[in-house]
Amino acid sequence: MDPARPDETEPYEQGGVIEYAAVHYTVSGSILAGSVEETGLEDTDELRLSFEPGGKDAEAYYPNEQDEPYFYITVWGVKIPCAWAAAPAGKRRFPDFLRDVFRRKTKNAASTIPPIPDNATLAAEMSRQAPDYPLCKTLRVFYSPDKLQRAVVLQRKDKLFTYHLERLEIVSEEDWIYLSRADKHPKPAMWQPDLGFGPSLFGTEEEALRELLADPKTRNWDFPTD
């Protein structure tokens, strides 16, 4: 089960905090005995798990594409400061938080683990990574002055044009220690879509570029004129 990919969440905002009242997962297999069971999580005060049967005769239903026997695992009581919902580069996101819930925190990291590269080094390296949009053709890529954000101008298969904003998300030092121990070639950063931006469609590339130049988020960027 990938903690970062729930089938359904039930979030709401209250007092500067986003509370995920329930985060539901579908798991292949069957519960052999009993109906709904609950258990607390180690090293937490409020988080808890529940296990309940799935299938057409189950009391609860959460959307999934499962055909073989399955059951549900639900995480209850996840609370996150609202700033995490649109975290800037270097801040932790909800999926990262959930991964920590399901693994024991790494302590006393070995001195052999290399230090995480600084933001400027990562930005320079990641600016060489080409955007990956399988259903679109990448036409242009523009970067913010600090290279921690980029705009990607695309042409879709239906001949329409659009642009996407992305930000460079850099892992925390704690996650870097975990990744370095688990992977010989860990990735300290990755490009993520701007969660507060919804792409529009344009008839020509020039229309998309005009909109991009006028966008408040990219207004101070240096756009080549060619």
> What would the 3-class secondary structure string for 57-98 be?
CCCCCCCCCCCCCEEEEEEEEEEEEHHHHHCCCCCCCHHHHH
Considering the domain architecture, whether residues 168 and 198 belong to the same structural domain is answered as: yes
Domain that holds residue 12: 8-101
Q: What percent of the chain has pLDDT over 90?
A: 7
Of residues 31 and 81, more confidence is placed in 31
Q: How many domains does the chain have?
A: 2
Q: Is residue 170 part of a domain?
A: yes
Is 195 a residue whose pLDDT tops 60? Answer: no
Average pLDDT over residues 92-97: 60
Last residue within a domain, chosen from 45, 68, 101? 101
Last residue within a domain, chosen from 67, 101, 135? 101
* Nearest residue to 140 via CA among 79, 192, 208: 208
Considering the domain architecture, whether residues 154 and 90 belong to the same structural domain is answered as: no
Considering the domain architecture, whether residues 126 and 210 belong to the same structural domain is answered as: yes
Question: Is 14 buried (19+), middle (13-18) or exposed (0-12) by CB count in 10 A?
Answer: exposed
Average pLDDT over residues 37-51: 71
Considering the domain architecture, whether residues 210 and 125 belong to the same structural domain is answered as: yes
Give the model's confidence band at 107: pLDDT under 50 very low, under 70 low, under 90 confident, else very high: very low
Q: Is residue 106 part of a domain?
A: no
* Nearest residue to 197 via CA among 224, 225, 167, 174: 167
Is 109 a residue whose pLDDT tops 60? Answer: no
Considering the domain architecture, whether residues 126 and 209 belong to the same structural domain is answered as: yes
Give the model's confidence band at 94: pLDDT under 50 very low, under 70 low, under 90 confident, else very high: low
Considering the domain architecture, whether residues 63 and 92 belong to the same structural domain is answered as: yes
Is 42 a residue whose pLDDT tops 70? Answer: no
Is 89 a residue whose pLDDT tops 60? Answer: no
Considering the domain architecture, whether residues 91 and 149 belong to the same structural domain is answered as: no
Query: Of the given ranges (57-61, 128-132, 175-179), which has the lowest mean pLDDT?
Result: 57-61
Considering the domain architecture, whether residues 74 and 42 belong to the same structural domain is answered as: yes
Give me the residues paired with residue 224 across strands.
none
Two structure tokens written together for 190 = 């990755």
Considering the domain architecture, whether residues 97 and 156 belong to the same structural domain is answered as: no
Single pTM value for the model: 0.47
Q: Is residue 113 part of a domain?
A: no
Whole-number pLDDT of residue 103: 57
Average pLDDT, the chain: 76
Considering the domain architecture, whether residues 131 and 204 belong to the same structural domain is answered as: yes
Q: Is residue 224 part of a domain?
A: no
Last residue within a domain, chosen from 50, 72, 101? 101
Considering the domain architecture, whether residues 81 and 132 belong to the same structural domain is answered as: no
Q: Is residue 175 part of a domain?
A: yes
Sign of CA dihedral 119, 125, 128, 129: negative
Q: Is residue 225 part of a domain?
A: no
Whole-number pLDDT of residue 155: 92
State the DSSP H helix or E strand holding residue 25, giving kind and residue range, or none if neither: strand 17-28
Whole-number pLDDT of residue 96: 64
Considering the domain architecture, whether residues 57 and 85 belong to the same structural domain is answered as: yes
Whole-number pLDDT of residue 203: 92
* Nearest residue to 156 via CA among 94, 201, 119: 201
Query: Of the given ranges (35-39, 116-120, 217-221), which has the lowest mean pLDDT?
Result: 35-39
